[in-house]
Amino acid sequence: MSLGGLLLRFRQWSEHGLMAAYYRDVVRPRILRTAPISGTTDPLCELHVLTCRGDWLNLIWSLKSFYRSSSRRYALCLHEDGTVPEEGLGQLRRHFPDARLILRAEADKRAELELRDYPCSLDFRRRNALAPKVFDFIWYLHGERMLLFDSDLLFFHEPKELLRRIEDPSYGINTVNRDVASAYTVEPSAVRRTTGLQVVERFNSGLGLIHRASMRLDWIEGFLGLPGIQDGHFWRIEQTIYALCSSRHGVELLPDEYTVYLEQGIGTRPLRHYVGAIRHLMYREGIARLAKDGLLNY
């Protein structure tokens, strides 16, 4: 590459980096000035999300963008992983006064009792930071339908098809957004050879409708015995378990407009899942768009 090309690339990186930093460090905290969202008590579906020290502020953007764009007030249950500071816990309580907030210390005590007869599950729950998504979400779920939710989602207008599936009483299978590629700790072909189960490809556990009946402890215990399932990236294990349980229960993926992708641009999509590789876009693209669209006045 020529010197001119290198200078151009450096200039673009600098501009993008500065813009991301501005929206992350200056604009993002302004969400704390907005009014609380009350009335999150609709039992039709209950939204469950796990958050941490680095994500709780992003989560407030995620939830407020969802509740504004959907015009729903699904019940809300917030799980913290034990790292959220008192400031973060206080802000979550203030902005979502009708939500249930489950502290990690409380959930850990329950886990020891709930999993006493499931040794593989108990060991996984003790060692993996994301294991509460697999177990705690179902333990604390009050109804039969759960909206599985991550802290890095932003909604730009009504997610009509997701809401339609959630609110259709005859819709009995799970449905989630499609990942960039299959990201599991076991190969679907190996699972099929071992168990006969056809595993759905490209399952992403960041957003979707999950039925309580699909996350059975006996299924999870059995799946945790598959060779290599607890190897590899820690975040892939819970996604693999969700994919396996959903495949056994029944599952279909959401339409293309919900699919995770790594390129820049929102287009007409109702939402975007800003996974780790594109977290900078959550700030300079997603939060910038929502700020322009008036979320900070909501």
Q: What is the pLDDT of residue 12?
A: 46
Q: pLDDT at residue 238 above 90? A: yes
- Residue 7, pLDDT above cutoff 80: no
Indicate if the pLDDT at residue 26 is higher than 90: yes
Q: Above 70 in pLDDT, residue 8?
A: no
**pLDDT at residue 34 greater than cutoff 70:** yes
pTM: 0.93
Q: Note the pLDDT of residue 188.
A: 95
Whole-number Cα distances in Å, 205 to 144, 151, 188, 238, 278: 18, 12, 16, 8, 17
- Please check the confidence at residue 128 and state whether its pLDDT lies above 80: yes
* Phi, psi of 40, deg, nearest 5: -80, 75
Round to whole Å and give the CA distance between 269 and 238. Answer: 27
Q: What's the CA gap between 297 and 104, in Å, rounded?
A: 33
Domains and CATH numbers, the chain: 3-297 (3.90.550.10)
pLDDT of residue 232: 78
Please say whether the beta carbons of 238 and 128 come within 8 A.
Answer: yes
Which whole number is the average pLDDT over 103-120?
98
**pLDDT value at 10 more than 60:** no
Distance CA 268, CA 19 (A): 22
How much of the chain, in percent, has pLDDT values that exceed 70? 95
Question: Phi/psi zone of residue 159: left (φ > 0), alpha (ψ -120 to 50 degrees), beta?
Answer: beta
* Cα 54 from chain centroid (whole Å): 14
Pairwise CA distance, residues 261 & 202, whole Å: 12
Burial class (CB in 10 A: 0-12, 13-18, 19+), 86: exposed
- Assign 17 a pLDDT band (cuts: 50, 70, 90): confident
Strands ordered across the beta sheet of 251-253 = 100-102, 74-80, 42-51, 145-149, 203-211, 174-178, 251-253
* Phi, psi of 176, rounded to the nearest 5 degrees: -140, 170
Say how far apart CA 95 and CA 76 lie, in whole Å. 12
Q: Cα separation of 138 and 127, whole Å? A: 19
| Chain segment 141-192, per-residue pLDDT in tens | 999 999 999 999 999 999 999 999 999 999 999 999 999 999 999 999 999 9
Strand partners, 155: 271
Using pLDDT thresholds of 50, 70 and 90, give the confidence band for residue 2: low
| Average per-residue pLDDT for the chain | 95
